[in-house]
Structure 1
Amino acid sequence: MSAIQASDYSPTIKKRALSRKLVELREQCGMTTSQVCKRLQWSPSKLNYIEKAKWVEPKSDSVTDLCELYGVSAADTEALIKLTREARQRGWWRKYNDVFRDDFVGLEAGASEILTFETTLIPGLLQAPGYIATVTRIAGIQDDSEVKRHVDARLQRQEIITRKSAPCRLHALIDENALARIKDPAIRAEQIGHLIDASTSPNVKVQVLRFTSGLYAGTSEPFAYLKFSDVLERDIVYLETTVDDRMLEEDDELQRYRTRFGQLCGAAQDAAATSAYLATMIE
C-alpha cells in the first residue's frame, strides 16, 4: 500500500485520502464492489459512499471490516484507523453548516494553490467585510446577527492565505463586471482597497479582465481550481451552479480547465497593471 501522506491536511482531505486508500486496496486484491458487498453483506450504496468519500463521519468498524477482507497487515490497518479518526474530526467550518453548504471549504483549507475565475462576484478569499455583508443581504438574509455570522465565517475562511505557516497561494482572475456591480461608494472603496492590499502579498496574484479588452475565450461559468502539495492527491475543479455544485477530477477535465485558465490569464491585465488600475478606482 502506498504511503499515507495526509497528516497535514484538513479532515476533508484526510477523508478523501482514506477513501482513495480503500479503493486502492480493493483493486490490489482483485475484488469488485459487488463481491465486497456480498462478502460483508453491505448495500451497494454504503460501499459507494465510502469509496467516493461521501460518508459524513468515517467509521472505524467499517474500515476494519474492509482491511480484514482485503488482507491488510496489522501495521497498515492501524495507520488507516488512525487516518479514520483524524478524518472524523470537525473542521472549524462545521459550526457554520448554515453558511457553507458543502465540503468545498474543507477541500480549500487543504489546498496548496488555488486558481480562481469570477465574472460577477469578488472571489470569496478576497472579499472585504462590507462586501460580504452586502452580498449576504442580497441573498435574502436580513437579520443583523445572521449577517455577522456569515461575515465572521467567510473572514475565517480567508485565513488560509494569511496564515504564517505555508499560506495557500492564490491566483485570482476577476472580470471587471464584478467591480462595476459594487454601487455603494464606501463598500466599493473598502473592497478595492482590500484587493490592492491582498495583492501585495507574495502568495497572492490578482488580475482583472477589463471591459476595454473586449471579448475573451471561455466567457462562461466561474470556477476554482485546487492544487495540493501531496502528489498523490488529485487536483479538483469546483463549479458552483444554481442547481448543484460539481467537483471535477478526471485528467481530461483538469487539463481543459488548466488550459482555460491560461487563456484567461493572457486576456487579463498583468498583476502590476491591475494594481495600478485598481488604485485609480479609489482615488
Structure 2
Amino acid sequence: MTGTDADSDATPSSTLPRRQLGRFLHDQRDANGFTIAAAAKLVDLSASALQRIEAGQTQKVRKQDVRALCELYGVDPSETDSAVDLAALARTQGWYHAYGGLYSDAYNMYVGLEAAARQQITYHEHIPGLLQTADYARAIISAYPGFSSRDDIDRRVEHRLKRQAIVTRKTNPVALEVLLHESALHRVVGNRRIMAAQLRHLAEISKLNNVTLRIHPFEAGLTWGMPYRLFAILYFDAGTRNDPIEPPIVYLEGGPTPDVYLEKPEEVRLYSELAAAIRSVSLDEGRTRELIRRVTKEFERDQH
C-alpha cells in the first residue's frame, strides 16, 4: 500500500486545492496519452490511488508523487512547483481560502474551476472576461502596471479569448448568467470606439440560449444596503442521484489583493440569495438589450 492509498483523516480539509490538482494531473496525463494504470505503475502508485488523486478525493497527496507525475508528463518546472504547492494546500483545514501569486496563467486556480463548471452566476461592474472583445481585454490588461511587455499582454489577451470557448462551443456550453451593473456600460475602457464595439458584441452574445444578461440599473440603488465585491458562483456536474460530484464554490475577485474562494454551504447560500436580490431589481433581458443598444449609439455618435 502506498502513502496515498490510506486516506482516513478525521478533520475535513478544503476540497478546492485537491480538485484543482486532480484536474491538472488528469489533463496532463491525458495530453501525454497515458492510461491511469500505465502512469501509476511508472511512478510506483496503485491505479486506484492515482484515480483518487485525479478525482480530488485524496486529502493527503504526497509532494514526491506529484513531482514524479509532473516529471513523467514533461511539465515545466514552474508548473511543477505550482502543482506541488497545490498538494501542500490540499492539507489546509478550514473553509476560508485566499490564494494569490501561486498559479501560472496557463493553469491558474480560477480558470480551471471555470472550465469545469456547468453553470456560472456572476455579478460584475465591468464587462466580464468571458464576454470581452479582444480590444476591451487588451485595454484592461495593458492598464495594469505589472504588464508592460507587448508580448506578455498579447499572450494574456489570447488566453482570455480562449477561455470564452466554454460559452460559445456547440457541445455543453456553460450556462452563464451575468448580472452587470449599469456603470459597466458607461465606464470608458480604452476609448469610445472600443466601447461601442464591446457593447455591440455584448448585445449579440446575450442572444445565445445559454447566456442570460441582466443590467442592474443605477436606479435600483444599493442591494442589501451595502457594497459587495465582484463575485461568481460556480456549479458543477451532478451525479446519478442528483448529488453534486463537486460542491459549488463562490469566487470573490481580489483585484490587487488575493482572490478568495468560499466553499462553506451557508456562505454559498448567502451569495445565492444576494444574486437573487440583485436579479429581482435588474432589467429583464429585453430591456437590458434596449439599454445596451441605446448606450452603444451614444458611443458611436460621440466618435464623430
TM above 0.5, yes or no, is: yes
Rounded Cα–Cα distance in structure 2 between residues aligned with 1:101 and 1:216: 34
> Is the 1:114–1:226 Cα contact (8 Å) retained in structure 2?
yes
| Aligned with 1:124 (options 114, 118, 129) | 129
**Counterpart of 1:266?**
280
> Is the 1:26–1:32 Cα contact (8 Å) retained in structure 2?
no
Letter in 2 for 1:245: D
Q: Give the Å deviation of 1:129.
A: 0.8
Letter in 2 for 1:169: A
Matched, 1:208 2:215: yes
Rounded Cα–Cα distance in structure 1 between residues aligned with 2:123 and 2:106: 19
Q: Residues 198-240 of structure 1: CA distance to partner in whole angstroms, max 9, x if unpaired?
A: 1010000111111233332253111010001232210010012
**Counterpart of 1:104?**
110
Rounded Cα–Cα distance in structure 1 between residues aligned with 2:214 and 2:16: 38
Structure 1 gap segments, 5+ residues each: 1-21, 34-46, 66-76
**Counterpart of 1:148?**
154
> Is the 2:185–2:292 Cα contact (8 Å) retained in structure 1?
no
Change (3 A) 1:282 1:232: same
Counterparts in 2 of 1:14-93, with a 5 A limit? 26-27=7-8, 32=10, 52-53=17-18, 78-82=47-51, 84=53
Percent identity over the alignment?
27
| Aligned with 1:240 (options 253, 258, 268) | 253
Change (3 A) 1:51 1:182: closer
Change (3 A) 1:248 1:104: same
> Is the 1:224–1:238 Cα contact (8 Å) retained in structure 2?
yes
Letter in 2 for 1:122: I
Change (3 A) 1:144 1:50: same
Rounded Cα–Cα distance in structure 1 between residues aligned with 2:183 and 2:74: 37
**Counterpart of 2:241?**
none
Structure 2 gap segments, 5+ residues each: 26-38, 57-68, 80-102, 239-243, 298-304
CA-based RMSD of the aligned residues comes to: 3.5
Rounded Cα–Cα distance in structure 2 between residues aligned with 1:100 and 1:275: 34
SS in 2 for 1:122: coil
Q: Give the Å deviation of 1:163.
A: 1.1
SS in 1 for 2:151: helix
Q: Residues 158-204 of structure 1: CA distance to partner in whole angstroms, max 9, x if unpaired?
A: 11011111000100011111222125111111110111111010000
TM, length-normalised to structure 1? 0.70
Matched, 1:113 2:127: no
Change (3 A) 1:260 1:64: farther
| Aligned with 1:275 (options 289, 292, 296) | 289
Letter in 2 for 1:224: A
Q: Give the Å deviation of 1:86.
A: 8.5
Rounded Cα–Cα distance in structure 2 between residues aligned with 1:48 and 1:245: 19
Letter in 2 for 1:282: T
Rounded Cα–Cα distance in structure 2 between residues aligned with 1:135 and 1:26: 44
